[in-house]
Amino acid sequence: MRYYIIAGEASGDLHGSNLVKAIHRQDTNATIHCWGGDKMEAAGATVIKHYRELAFMGFVEVITHLPTIFRNISFCKKDVLAFRPDVLVLIDYPGFNLRIAAWARQQGIKVVYYISPQVWAWKEKRVVQIKRDVDKMLVILPFEVDFYKKWDFDVTYVGHPLIEVVGYEKEKVPATPLSDKPIIALLPGSRAQEIKVKLPVMLEMTTRFPQYSFVVAQAPSLPDALYQDIIGNRKVVLAKGNTYNLLKQAAAGLITSGTATLETALFGLPQVVCYKGNALSFWLATKLVNVKYISLVNLIMDKPVVTELIQNDLTPDKLEAALTRLLTDTAYRTELQHDYKTLWDRLGSSNASDNAAREILEVAAATR
């Protein structure tokens, strides 16, 4: 059967790659075209457009790139029609994917949404559109099932895909040492614009904690020059495409909000969650977003497990204080590990990729 998958970010590429592998295991004749990245291509999908051309974050940034976004939408529609998939699979990336879902419904193309948009955080009424345009919603956060029930929409919880990914890495892949000194991991994000804002603040810690080696997780899709320009003459190690190896051996991490916070928690690494963006975009977000926390760890646990330094709170002094606590407060570290274990248990142990592939194959087979 023929599958067309759209993932617009690095996390979507990761989860999409494991989904591609699972589809191939269950459908040996599968032909898969995708919007994604290197991981999905390595898994056996034909990449039509790389996510590095798609990743715009923040209200202001999206507005300034609207012509590019509309060109991408137009191209996507033409390419989907030319490919004639049995099913269209959308992975998160709601600003783009919900538009495509509405169009696909008009074309009579079956749509499965894997990894729900965060409609529980903002624009809750988008559920009306999702019910209309999506044939099957596959969710990866336990509380999303109850959320959608409020809207009389039955969704399927398939488990969280990071459980299988991190579980394999922790058990099967030994760490390759990155430094002779204890390590502080810096994960400044996967988009150039967020790295330029957050990495300079994170790097201020290099002079305040000279006994540690600071290792920056470099996004594979971004050029070395971007990081070198920000790092300058600081003694910092760059780890390209080696994030999990870094998380396994670090003493603590300064982590950009997003999927990385959950990955870090599942590896058991104490962390400070960092977010800073365009001032206008952040102001708009405070008016529109309805969540108590910014990190997935705190959202899933429904309490402040990890420290969040957001926007004006992300300063060198506050970051130093939070990092000092992570490194020296034994009671806090013990409590954190207890919460991390509860988090893992709450997400479950099922293989999300295989579960999702099974649901997708059912939808695809029903179209024949």
pLDDT in tens, the chain (368 residues): 999 999 988 889 989 999 999 999 999 999 999 999 999 999 999 999 998 876 554 444 555 556 677 788 999 999 999 999 999 999 999 989 999 999 999 999 999 999 999 888 777 889 999 999 999 999 999 899 999 999 999 999 999 999 988 988 888 788 899 999 999 999 999 888 889 999 999 999 999 999 999 999 998 878 999 999 999 999 999 999 899 999 999 999 999 988 899 999 999 999 999 988 765 555 555 545 666 888 999 999 999 999 999 988 999 999 999 999 999 999 999 999 999 999 999 998 779 999 999 999 999 999 87
pTM summary value: 0.83
Q: Which residues are within 8 A (CB) of 159 and not within 5 positions of it... i.e. 6 or more apart? A: 140, 347, 348, 349, 350, 351, 352, 355
- Residue by residue, what is the 3-state secondary structure of 254-321? EEECCHHHHHHHHCCCCEEEEECCCHHHHHHHHHHCCCCCCCHHHHHHCCCCCEEEEHHHCCHHHHHH
pLDDT for position 85: 98
pLDDT for position 287: 47
DSSP 121-140: TS-TTHHHHHHHH-SEEEE-
Instruction: Indicate the SS3 state at residue 157.
Output: strand
Half-sphere exposure of 42 (CA within 13 A, CB side): 8
pLDDT for position 59: 46
Per-residue b or e along 11-40, where b marks 16 or more CB atoms closer than 10 Å to that residue's CB: bbbbbbbbbbbbbbeebeebebbbbbbbbb
- Helix (H) / strand (E) element for 111: namely strand 111-114
Q: Which residues are within 8 A (CB) of 149 and not within 5 positions of it... i.e. 6 or more apart? A: none
Residue 53 per-residue DSSP state: G
Domains of the chain, each with CATH number or no CATH: 2-159+350-366 (3.40.50.2000), 166-347 (3.40.50.2000)
Instruction: Indicate the SS3 state at residue 195.
Output: helix
pLDDT for position 219: 87
Whether 10 contacts 192, CB under 8 Å: no
pLDDT for position 306: 97
